[in-house]
Amino acid sequence: MIKACIFDLDGVIVDTALYHYQAWKRLANELGFDFTEHQNEQLKGVSRVRSLELILGWGGVTKTQTEQTELATRKNQWYVEMINRMQPSEILPGAKEFLQAAKAAGLKTALGSASKNSSTILERVGLLPFFDAIVDGNHVAASKPDPEVFLKGAEALGTDPSECVVFEDAIAGIQAAKAGNMKVVGIGSPEILTGADLVVPGLHEMTIARLQALDSISTK
């Protein structure tokens, strides 16, 4: 029986990719090279530290560990300035409605995000009260496709992984859910999110009936 939903944040509930892009671009430009939207696409769901490593590699720049920490902090300060101005209108279509429907159906809900800023974002858009547990980049050691973030979410909810459905927009996140023995709904295009049990373009296309229909699928 499906008892819980675990949601990725960026690309599922809100879209903060543009803010990440602007902050990383500013940092790259200060370091003397450019950063494209195409490169930004490859950073979705990737941790801050790993994102910086990739960007420095693309720019052909080498920095010490101490310098990297300082650069990541600087980028995050610009990013936080932007997310502090986020509004409820930035919630992706159908996300609030599906969260409401899940709660009304008696399902538990958790967040499973790579971001260390997830609570700020949820608070700014007014969605914090819809989550029973928040597991994010502050709580995990291993990044997706490692299942740690989702397994910790299931544990926080007191639910067996096989009774959880994960909602994810990134391939690494879908792999993480599968590695954790969970069912997974891909948010995006079926051509890209091939490992998911179901793919919808956004939560506006998701219903509790479609969720419960996943029950017949084995997670093994």
Which of Mg ion, ligand G16, none is residue 137 near (CB under 5 to 8 Å by kind)?
ligand G16
Instruction: Report the sign of the C-alpha dihedral through residues 114, 118, 121, 126, in that order.
Output: positive
Query: What is the C-alpha to C-alpha distance for residues 67 and 160, in angstroms, rounded to an integer?
Result: 42
Contact partner, 46, from ligand G16, Mg ion, none, Cβ < 5-8 Å per class: ligand G16
Contacts for 28-35: CB closer than 8 Å, 24+ residues apart: 28/55, 28/59, 31/56, 31/59, 31/61, 31/71, 32/59, 32/61, 33/58, 33/59, 33/60, 33/61, 35/59
Minimum CB distance to Mg ion smaller for 10 or for 132: 10
- Binding of Mg ion by 45 (CB under 5 A): yes
Residue closer to ligand G16 (CB basis): 150 or 183: 150
Residue 113 in marked binding region: yes
Minimum distance from residue 187 beta carbon to ligand G16 (Å):
10
Using CB under 5 A as the binding rule, whether residue 11 contacts Mg ion is answered as yes
Interactions with ligand G16, residue window 161-220 (CB under 6 A): none
Closer CB to ligand G16, 96 or 212, in the complex: 96
Q: Which of 39, 51, 109, 219 binds ligand G16 (CB under 6 A)?
A: 51
Query: Per CB under 5 A, does 169 bind Mg ion?
Result: yes
DSSP string of 47-104, one letter each residue: -HHHHHHHHHHHHT----HHHHHHHHHHHHHHHHHHHTT--GGGBPTTHHHHHHHHHH
- Active-site residue 146, yes or no? no
* Residue 10 touches Mg ion, criterion: CB under 5 A: yes
76 assigned binding-site residue: no
167 DSSP assignment: E
Pick 23 or 107: Cβ nearer ligand G16: 23
Give 102-162 as a DSSP string. Answer: HHHTT-EEEEE-S-TTHHHHHHHHT-GGG-SEEE-TTT-SSPTTSTHHHHHHHHHHT--GG
Q: Is 47 in the site for ligand G16 (CB under 6 A)?
A: yes
What is the set of active-site residues? 8, 10
Binding site for Mg ion (CB under 5 A): 8, 10-11, 45, 169-170
Binding site for ligand G16 (CB under 6 A): 8-11, 20, 43-48, 51, 76, 113-117, 137
